[in-house]
Amino acid sequence: MKGLYLVTPDWDDTDQLLAVSEQAIEGGAVLLQYRHKTANQDLRHEQAQALLALCRRMNIPLIINDHTDLCQALDADGVHVGGTDASVSMVRAQLGSDKIVGASCYGDLQLARDAAAAGASYVAFGGFYPSRVKKYEVTTPPDIITRAISELTVPICVIGGMTVENSRPLVDLGAQWVAAISSVYGVADHRAAAAAFTDLYR
């Protein structure tokens, strides 16, 4: 499975979030990560539950950012953890072998090695470019993709300021997934934006 890894913005309007997400999935998104850093517990549960129903209907996996307990409560498909969240080994132990566990590895190949050894299903590198959503140092070298491919057997996702144009060279290097937020949710035609990312893999 290769293609667009859709990551949600911090939208409180659940109906809008569902409508735009559905259009993006129709455009070809192959994974959806629910990420809302400012939502309270009730809103997070409401949105994740609604997105899970959408993903089940559209036949793509739903990954929950950070919240292993929410993934377990809803029986979502997996969890994505960052560098300051629970460890990959801890999340894998909680979720068992059947769930997806993704790990942010930034620009650090050793983090990716450790994550894969601890049971990560995939590793995410970035940021490669400045982001309109996340604040970080743009220090990830593109050649980390080829280095990771030579060592690791898990899929590689690239994140951080992704557009169709600037993600193309990373896809050419072998990245299986391109994660995007603003380039899909923040444009006028969400379906077409997702389809343009999907076309990178045709």
Reported as a single tens digit per residue, the pLDDT across 80-99 is 998 776 799 999 999 999 99
Using a 10 angstrom Cβ sphere, with 0-12 exposed, 13-18 middle and 19 or more buried, the burial of residue 5 is buried
The contacts of residue 83 (CB under 8 Å, 6+ apart) are: 104, 105, 106, 111
Q: Which residues of the chain have pLDDT under 50?
A: none
Q: What is the pLDDT of residues 127-159, one digit of tens each?
A: 898 876 666 666 799 999 999 999 999 999 999
CATH 3.30.300.130 is held by the domain 3-199: no
Residue 135 confidence (pLDDT): 64
The CA–CA distances, whole Å, from 191 to 17, 148, 163 equal 14, 31, 15
- In this structure, the number of other CB atoms found within 10 A of the CB of residue 121 comes to 21
**Residue-level pLDDT at 131:** 72
Q: Where are the domains of the chain?
A: 3-199
The span from the CA of 163 to the CA of 126, in Å, is 13
